[in-house]
Structure 1
Amino acid sequence: MSYAEVNGINLYFETHGAGRPLILLHGGLGSGEMFGASLPAFAENHQVILVDLQGHGRTADVDRPLDYTLMADDVAALIDHLGLDRPDVVGFSLGGGVGLHLASRHPGKVGRLVATSAGIRRTAFYPDLLEQQAQVNAAAVEFMKETPMYELYQRVAPRPEDFPRLLDKIGEAMQRDFDFTEEVRGLQVPTLIMGADADMVPPSHFAEIFALLDGGQRDGGWMRDGRPKGGHALAILPGTTHYDIIDSPLFATTALAFLSQEM
């Protein structure tokens, strides 16, 4: 359990296990603790670094927006701070988006990437979900008090009273239009696009992302020479949702299978 001063933020991280370095990036309103169900599998043969992103978990907020690029630069600086040699990265939801930007902006710092449940275009999200996201702000604190996210924040945050501020920032971030098509199209890091079969976006969106990475364009062939040129892959986990995919045994099994492939 440690902190690293990077980019003006006191970034919390903790390390588990030993082996090839693997960074896990959590979802919005969560922390590294979100990976509790899958952590033992990841840490069996890896040095796992759990990171609490800006304003989440044990990392206090700073005076800047919640922005994928800024948080990706934080993780890149942490990689340098720890002297890691191209660690693999597994990100979920918000962390998946941060992972995609990390691989896009700092390709030389990442070995392989697993981006889970991370839509790359705001318009891909279901309309009713976008309506719900519009209600996320400080005024929702009373409702959130009954949720695990609130309990976690109150238990571990350096300033528990900042939860309304986090809701405001998350809500503002979700209202910003975004489209990461070009960032994904240019990825040089072998990437697994993973999603639930009942996610916040339709499965077709994950297939669309895969197509940007040269996936699904041709038969893979007996000799596998038709697979995506960059070593990318796609996985839709059956019987899962956005809210339980990282608790499924299939999550760690699928991610580790991809990470263990030769470069």
Structure 2
Amino acid sequence: MSYAEVNGVNLYFETHGTGRPLILLHGGLGSGEMFGASLAAFAEGHQVILPDLQGHGRTADVDRPVDYALMADDIAALIDHLGLDRPDVVGFSLGGGVGLQLAIRHPEKVGKLVAASAGIRRDAFFPDLLEQQAQVNAAAAAFMKDTPMYELYARVAPRPEDFPRLLDKIGETMRRDFDHTEQVRGLRVPTLIMGADADMVPPSHFVEIFALLDGGRRDGGWMGDGRPKGGHALAILPGTTHYNIIDSPLFATTALAFLDQKA
């Protein structure tokens, strides 16, 4: 368990296992503990670096928005701080969005990327979910006191009283319109787009992202020569939702099959 001072953020991270470096990026209102069900599988053959993103877990918040690009820059700085050579990255939800921005903004620092349950357009999310996200703000803190997310935050955060502030920032991020289509279209890091079959966006959105990466446009061929030119891949995990996909045994198995596949 360590801290790294990066971009004005005292970033908490843990290291597990040995082998090729692999960074796991957790979802919103969570921490690295979210990967508890799959951590052992990832650490069996990799050196896993498990950071808590800005304002989450054991990393205290700072005076800036909860912004995907800024947090991606934090992870790029952590890679430099630790002297890692193009580690692979697995990100879930918020962490998936951060992972995509990391690969877009700092492609020279990333080996392969798994972006799980991360939509790239706000209007791809189901309308009723957007309505729920519009209600996330500091006032909702009182109603979340009995949730696992608050329990985790209260147990490990340096300043548990910051929870309402974090909700305000997360809510502001959720309400902000975004469309990363063109950025993703130019992605150079080999990327596995992963989603649940009952996620926050329809499975067709993950197929749309895969298509931006030259996927699903032709027969792959007997020798795989028709697969996407950039080494990208797609996986929809059966019987999962946004809320339990990282607890599924398929999550680590699928991610590792992609990451460990020889070019």
Q: TM-score range by the shorter chain?
A: over 0.9
Following superposition, the deviation at residue 91 of structure 1 comes to 0.0
Aligned counterparts of 1:183 and 1:47: Cα–Cα separation in 2: 29
Q: Which residue of 1 aligns with 2:132?
A: 132
Following superposition, the deviation at residue 142 of structure 1 comes to 1.5
Q: Output aligned runs, 1:221-232, within 5 Å.
A: 221-232=221-232
What is the root-mean-square deviation of aligned Cα atoms in Å? 0.4
Aligned counterparts of 2:39 and 2:5: Cα–Cα separation in 1: 25
Aligned counterparts of 1:53 and 1:30: Cα–Cα separation in 2: 9
Following superposition, the deviation at residue 222 of structure 1 comes to 0.6
Q: What SS does the aligned partner of 2:132 have?
A: helix
Q: Which residue of 2 aligns with 1:163?
A: 163
Q: Kindly, what percent of the aligned residue pairs are identical?
A: 88
Aligned counterparts of 1:51 and 1:227: Cα–Cα separation in 2: 33
Q: Which residue of 1 aligns with 2:91?
A: 91
Following superposition, the deviation at residue 187 of structure 1 comes to 0.7
Q: Which residue of 1 aligns with 2:52?
A: 52
Q: Output aligned runs, 1:211-250, within 5 Å.
A: 211-250=211-250
Q: What SS does the aligned partner of 1:222 have?
A: coil
Aligned counterparts of 1:41 and 1:13: Cα–Cα separation in 2: 18
Aligned counterparts of 1:127 and 1:146: Cα–Cα separation in 2: 26
Q: What SS does the aligned partner of 1:207 have?
A: helix
Q: Output aligned runs, 1:21-170, within 5 Å.
A: 21-170=21-170
Following superposition, the deviation at residue 158 of structure 1 comes to 0.3
Following superposition, the deviation at residue 156 of structure 1 comes to 0.3
Aligned counterparts of 2:182 and 2:97: Cα–Cα separation in 1: 13
Following superposition, the deviation at residue 41 of structure 1 comes to 0.2
Q: What SS does the aligned partner of 2:211 have?
A: helix
Unaligned runs of 5+ in 1: none
- Aligned residue-pair number: 263
Deviation per residue, 1:123-175 (Å, 9 max, x gap): 00000000000110011111111110000000000000000000000000000
Q: What SS does the aligned partner of 1:86 have?
A: coil
- After TM superposition, the score normalised by the length of structure 2 is 0.99
Aligned counterparts of 2:143 and 2:24: Cα–Cα separation in 1: 29
Q: What SS does the aligned partner of 1:169 have?
A: helix
Q: What SS does the aligned partner of 1:146 have?
A: coil
Q: Which residue of 2 aligns with 1:9?
A: 9
Deviation per residue, 1:37-83 (Å, 9 max, x gap): 00000000000000100000000000000111100000000000000
Which letter does structure 1 place at the counterpart of 2:226?
G
Following superposition, the deviation at residue 223 of structure 1 comes to 1.1
Following superposition, the deviation at residue 182 of structure 1 comes to 1.2
